[in-house]
Chains A and B, each alone.
Chain A
Amino acid sequence: MSLKDKLVSSFLAFENHVDIDSKVHDIRTEAIKTFENKGFPTKKDEAWKYTSLNSVLKHDYSVFPKQENALAYSDVKKYFIHDIDTYKIVLVDGKYSSHLSQTTHDGIDVCLMSAALSKPKYQLIIENYFNKVATKDGLTSLNTAFSKEGAYIHIPKNKVVAKPIEIVHFSTGNEAALMLQPRNLIVVDENSHVQIIERHQSVTDNPVLTNSVTEIVANKRAIVDYYKVQNDNLNASLIDNTFVEQKRESHVSVHTFSFGGKLTRNNLNFYQNGEYMDSTLNGVTIIGDKQHVDHNTLVHHIEPNCESHQDYKGIFTDNATGVFNGKVIVNKEAQKTNAFQSNNNILLSDKATINSKPQLEIFADDVKCSHGCTIGQLDDSALFYMKSRGIPEKEAKGLLMYAFSNNVLSSVKIPELKQRITKLIANKLGVNIGFDL
C-alpha cells in the first residue's frame, strides 16, 4: 500500500482519537478529501521541479506513534538554548512531553494545540485563525487532516514576551519509521512582541518524515522573530510549511538555518495584508554529503508602502543539492513597495548543485524591486591574501565562509542563539575560529 493510501485509510482510525463534534472535524474531513485528490507533489509540479520526495516517501511509516517514549532531559539538554530561561513546548514522537516542557497561561498562552482545539475558551481564536492563512495544497491539507498536536501561542495585545519560546520536536526511534504532522498556530495581537525558536531533532537512525504546518498571524504593530534551526541527522527529512499573515505596521522575520537532515523543504509564505510593514526572510544553508535543502519562498505584497527583504546564503559541498525559488508578487494596488531578494551560493565541490530561481510578478508601476543571485567558488585572491598572513588554508576557507554567512547571522536578535549558531557553523565547516562574529 502506498503511503498516500495508508494515510487516507488511517484517517478514520485517527478520528476515533479526536472529538468529532468539534468544528475542526469538518475542516479535517475536507482536508483529507483534498489530500486524496492532490496527493503528494511530484517533479511534474513546477514548484517541485528540483525536489523529489520519492526517496523519503518509500518508507513504511507509522502514522501515529503507538506509545509514549520518554526522553531524559540530560540526554537532550544540548538541543535547547539552556543558557537562558525559555518557555518550552516539547513533543516526543508527536506527543506532548510535560516534563521537558514549560508552558504558561500567565497573561499569554504558550501551550498545546490539542488543548486549544478542544477547550471552549480557545474556540474564538481557533475559529478566527485556524487553517485560515494556510493554503490548501496537498501537503498542507494532509497536515490539516491529521492536525492534533503542536504549539499554540497566543500573545494578547501590548505584551512583550520576556523569554523566547522554544518549540522542539524529538523523535526517538520507537517506531521503525515515523511520520509526524505537527501543527502550530501563533497569534500575536496589537503591539506585542515575541521570539520563537523551532527545532526538529531525531535522536535515532530510524527514518523520520515530518510534514509540519505553522500559521503565524501578526496583528497591527506586532513584532514576531521566528528562528528555525534545522540540523537533523541524515535519516530525518522535513517538509516545513509556514504561512505568515501580517497586518498593518507589523514586523515579522523568519530565519532558517539549514545544516542537517536528509531532505529539507521550506515552504515559507508571507501575505502582507496592510500598509507600512516589513517582512524579513533570511537563511543560511551549509550542507554536504547527499543532503538536499530547498527554500521555496513567497512574499505577496497586497497593499502599498511595504517592504520585504530576502537574503539566503548557501554553501554546498560533496554531492549536496540546493534549491532557492523565491517568488515575489506585487499587486497592482501595492505602490511604493520595496522588495529585495538576494541569493548567494558557494559550491565547494564539482558535484554539488544549486538551482536558484527568482520569480518576480510585479503589477504596480511605482515600486523598487531587486533580485540578485550569485553562484561561485571561494575567491582565490582572498585565500592567498589570508594565507600570506599566516592563516592556513583550512582556517582561511572557514573564515571566508563565516564572513559569507555573517550578514544573516548578525541579524539574529537572541545573543545565546547567535552564539549557538556560530558554533554550529564552525562545527559544520570543521574550523575553530577564535572569536564570535
Chain B
Amino acid sequence: MLKINNLHASVEDKTILRGINLEVKAGEVHAIMGPNGSGKSTLASVIAGKEEYEVTEGNILLDNEDIEELSPEERAHKGVFLSFQYPVEIPGVSVTNFMKTAINETRKAKGLEDMPANEMLKLIREKSELLEIDRKFLSRSLNEGFSGGEKKRNEIFQMAMLEPKLAILDETDSGLDIDALRIVANGVNKLKSKDNAVIVITHYQRLLDHIVPDFVHVLYNGRIVKSGGKELAHQLEEKGYDWIKEEVNA
C-alpha cells in the first residue's frame, strides 16, 4: 500500500530525513520508534504533505502512485490520515461541523453527493460511542480548551469518521491517562481491517501493548537503523536507545 524509497527531506535547508525505506502492506501495523529529534514526526508530516517540508530525494508511493506532487487534501482524499501530535485549536468551528465539512469535501472529491443529514448523524453517533465521546463535546469548538486526552480522543474519532486507508498516529499516546489510552487503542483496533494499515509513532512501549505491531522500526538520525518484530519494542523499553546509537556509530 505504502512504499517509501530512499526518502530525503529537509525543512528550511536543514536535512532531517536521510534515506528512509519503508514498505507497509494492507492489514499491517507498523511502529516507528526512536529518540527525540530522530525525524519521526517529520516522516509523518512528509507523508501527509505538509508544505514546509521539501522532499530532496526519493519518493513516496501510495498504491503505486507517487504522491509527492499531491496537496495534503488530495492525499486525504486518497485515504491518508494523520493523527496530530499537537492537534490545532480552531475556535468557532464545532467538532460536528468540521467533520461534516471534511466528509462532504472528501465525497465531493470522489464525485459523490453530500452525505444525507440523517446518515451523517447516525455515523457521528456510532463513532462517538466507539470512542466514548459525550454528545456535548461534539458541539464545542474544535480542540479549543480540550484537555490533552480529549484532543487525542478527538483525533481518533476523526479517523473513525473518515475511515482512512493509511492512518499515521503521531505520538497519540502522549498526554493520555491509562483509561484514555485504552479507549483510544480500542478505537484503533476496531477500525483495523485487512484493507487498511496503521503506522504508530511513539516513544514508548505502552501504546504497543494495546495496539500490537507487526513490525517495529527504529528511526535514528533520519534513517531506519533497525527493524524487527514486536519484541524489538520490549527490548527498547528495557534498554533505551543508547545501544542502538552505539551500534550505528560503531
Contacts and interface: CB of A to CB of B under 8 A. Distances in A.
A393 B100 CA distance: 16
B106 interface: yes
A407 interface: yes
Interface string B69-96: 0011101110011101001111111000
Majority SS at the chain A contact face: helix
Contacts of B114: 434
B73 A403 contact: no
A434 B92 contact: no
B88 A404 contact: no
A407 B141 CA distance: 12
B120 to A, nearest CB: 10
Nearest to A395: B105
Interface residues of A, number: 27
Given A399-B93, A400-B90, A407-B92, A389 B48 contact: no
B51 interface: yes
B67 interface: no
Given A395-B105, A434-B101, A434-B114, A385 B84 contact: yes
A406 interface: yes
B162 interface: yes
Nearest to A406: B92
B90 A435 contact: no
Interface residues of B, number: 35
Contacts of A399: 90, 93, 98, 101
A393 B109 CA distance: 13
A386 interface: yes
Interface string B49-83: 11100000000000000000001110111001110
B26 interface: no
Given A390-B102, A391-B101, A403 B92 contact: yes
Contacts of A128: none
Given A387-B73, A402-B92, A407-B92, A392 B105 contact: yes
Nearest to A389: B102
A235 B232 CA distance: 72
A433 interface: yes
A91 to B, nearest CB: 36
Given A404-B92, A435-B97, A390 B73 contact: yes
Contacts of A434: 100-101, 104, 114
B90 A386 contact: yes
B77 A390 contact: yes
A388 B92 contact: no
A382 B143 CA distance: 11
- Of the candidates B49, B90, B92, B105, the one having the most CB atoms from chain A within 10 angstroms of its own CB is B92
A37 interface: no
Nearest to B91: A403
B158 interface: yes
A384 B50 contact: yes
A388 B72 contact: yes
Contacts of A16: none
Contacts of A392: 71, 73, 105, 109
A407 B91 CA distance: 9
Interface string B203-242: 0000000000000000000000000000000000000000
A388 B100 CA distance: 14
Contacts of B89: 382
A384 B51 contact: yes
A379 interface: yes
A400 B162 CA distance: 21
Contacts of B102: 386, 389-391
A161 interface: no
A437 interface: yes
Nearest to B115: A434
A384 B72 contact: yes
A381 interface: yes
A379 B88 contact: yes
A407 B92 CA distance: 7
A405 B72 CA distance: 26
Nearest to A400: B90
- Of the candidates A387, A389, A434, the one having the most CB atoms from chain B within 10 angstroms of its own CB is A389
Given A388-B49, A390-B106, A382 B88 contact: yes
B215 to A, nearest CB: 24
A396 B162 CA distance: 17
A151 to B, nearest CB: 34
Nearest to B109: A390
A108 to B, nearest CB: 37
Interface string A16-28: 0000000000000
Contact of B76 (A387, A395, A406): A387
Interface of A: 379, 381-382, 384-393, 395-396, 399-400, 402-407, 433-435, 437
Given A388-B76, A391-B102, 16 more contacts: A384-B88, A385-B90, A386-B102, A387-B71, A388-B75, A388-B80, A390-B73, A390-B106, A391-B73, A392-B73, A395-B101, A396-B73, A399-B98, A400-B93, A403-B90, A403-B93
* Chain A to chain B: the 5 pairs with minimum beta-carbon distance, closest first: A403-B92, A406-B92, A390-B76, A387-B72, A390-B106
12 contacts: A382-B88, A384-B88, A386-B102, A388-B73, A391-B73, A395-B101, A399-B90, A403-B92, A434-B104, A435-B100, A437-B92, A437-B97
